[in-house]
Amino acid sequence: MLLFPNCKINLGLRILNKRKDGYHNIETVFYPVPLKDVLEIIPSTDITPINFSSSGLLIDGETENNLCIKAYQLLRAGFPQIPAVKMHLHKAIPMGAGLGGGSADAAFTLQLINRQFNLNLSTTQLINYALQLGSDCAFFILNTPCTGTGRGEILEQIAVDLSGHQLILVNPGIHVNTGQAFAALTLNPENHNLPSLKDIIKQPIFTWQNHLKNDFEEPVFKLYPSIKEIKESLYKMGAVYASMSGSGSTVYGIFKKQLHLQINFNSTYSVSKHSL
């Protein structure tokens, strides 16, 4: 059985405060984007519970730490009748790029196993499993525009209409360390007094440039000026809104659909265009 895990962008990202558990309270809007990986899982007769392989973009880290494997192990602990499987992941979503690709792969693994082996888990149950794998994994169970608060795990579905627009994703291949980005961040005490992102997102998109901010941009742009240059270039190309996603390094631009774009970025960058 095949599924196609998609990525997300953040429409605005506020870091509100640091929690006692070491995490940060945030406010963001998650928006699904049709840049996709490919995930296949089939039953196996092997003695080894899971035989994992991958293609496409090189996956960082040790194989046993892959979130797809952890998702399988998590479900099998509660449902020992799940058989051994062969799992193949083709990576097209850049990693460490602020697009949530690893979280998407994990969430889609949960959903695929649930369907393929008739576990009959509800959406709420899948979300609870997803939360054990990562703060933004739960979003990909719903996979529809949502506000994210708390650590990003408290989700509320909202209406965001970007029809009539196209999206350009630009990834410069820089792996931004999230911990480093948090360490360089200066918390803005006024964030608590600003209009909510849910209210800002309801306004016409041409107003977002002045009000919809990603707090990670300032520290990350200082560390990596080339990422800031990408955002500036997208606005020069005619974007109605441009921003870094998550803690970077991917930057996106939202353009009117009828605009003919001439894309001219560094040849080493990964650039993709998508209809919204």
Residue 20 scores a pLDDT above 90: no
Question: Domain span at residue 84?
Answer: 2-157
What whole-number distance in Å separates Cα of residue 169 and Cα of residue 244? Answer: 10
Pairing of strands 146-150, 154-157: antiparallel
pLDDT category, 261, cuts 50, 70, 90? Answer: confident
> How open is the CA angle 131-161-37, to the nearest 5 degrees?
45
Whether the CB-CB separation of 148 and 26 falls below 8 Å is answered with yes
Supply the pLDDT for residue 209.
Answer: 95
pLDDT average, residue stretch 258-271: 90
Q: Are residues 127 and 101 in the same domain?
A: yes
Q: Are residues 21 and 132 in the same domain?
A: yes
pLDDT category, 112, cuts 50, 70, 90? Answer: very high
What would the pLDDT profile of 181-221 be if each residue is shown by its tens digit?
Answer: 888 888 877 777 889 999 999 999 999 999 999 999 999 99
Q: Are residues 35 and 151 in the same domain?
A: yes
Mapped onto helix, strand or coil, the DSSP state of residue 101 is helix
Mapped onto helix, strand or coil, the DSSP state of residue 77 is helix
Active-site residue among 8, 91, 213, 231?
8
Supply the pLDDT for residue 194.
Answer: 86
Of 157, 189, 213, the position where a domain reaches its end is 157
Q: Are residues 22 and 101 in the same domain?
A: yes
What whole-number distance in Å separates Cα of residue 276 and Cα of residue 271? Answer: 16
Question: What is the number of structural domains in the chain?
Answer: 2
Supply the pLDDT for residue 21.
Answer: 84
Supply the pLDDT for residue 29.
Answer: 97
Active-site residue among 37, 91, 105, 136?
136
Supply the pLDDT for residue 62.
Answer: 85
Q: Are residues 45 and 142 in the same domain?
A: yes
Q: What percentage of residues in the chain have a pLDDT greater than 90?
A: 76
Residue 271 scores a pLDDT above 80: yes
Residue 122 scores a pLDDT above 80: yes
Q: Are residues 169 and 153 in the same domain?
A: no
Q: Are residues 6 and 83 in the same domain?
A: yes
Supply the pLDDT for residue 192.
Answer: 76
Q: What is the CATH number of the domain that holds 264?
A: 3.30.70.890
Supply the pLDDT for residue 243.
Answer: 98
Q: Are residues 224 and 135 in the same domain?
A: no
- Name the token pair of 145: 């525009």
Of 141, 157, 173, the position where a domain reaches its end is 157
pLDDT category, 167, cuts 50, 70, 90? Answer: very high
Q: Are residues 192 and 90 in the same domain?
A: no
**Nearest by Cα to 71 from 46, 41, 45, 93:** 41
Of 100, 127, 157, the position where a domain reaches its end is 157
Whether the CB-CB separation of 138 and 127 falls below 8 Å is answered with yes
Supply the mean pLDDT for the chain: 93
What would the pLDDT profile of 130-165 be if each residue is shown by its tens digit?
Answer: 999 988 999 999 999 999 999 898 999 999 989 899
Provide the strand spans (E) within 140-203: 146-150, 154-157, 165-171
Q: Which residues contact 22 (CB under 8 A, 6 or more apart)?
A: none
Supply the pLDDT for residue 234.
Answer: 97
Least reliable range by pLDDT among 137-146, 171-180, 198-207, 243-252: 171-180
The count of C-alpha atoms lying within 13 angstroms of the C-alpha of 257, restricted to the half-sphere facing its C-beta, is 7
pLDDT category, 52, cuts 50, 70, 90? Answer: very high
Look up 8 and say whether it is catalytic: yes
Question: To which residue do tokens 């009000």 refer?
Answer: 211
Cis link prior to 249 (omega < 30° from 0)? yes
Whether the CB-CB separation of 237 and 163 falls below 8 Å is answered with no
Q: Are residues 138 and 173 in the same domain?
A: no
Q: Are residues 189 and 235 in the same domain?
A: yes
What would the pLDDT profile of 58-105 be if each residue is shown by its tens digit?
Answer: 888 888 889 999 999 999 999 999 999 999 999 999 988 999 999 999
Q: What is the CATH number of the domain that holds 67?
A: 3.30.230.10
What whole-number distance in Å separates Cα of residue 209 and Cα of residue 213? Answer: 8
Q: Are residues 186 and 93 in the same domain?
A: no
Look up 36 and say whether it is catalytic: no
pLDDT category, 263, cuts 50, 70, 90? Answer: confident
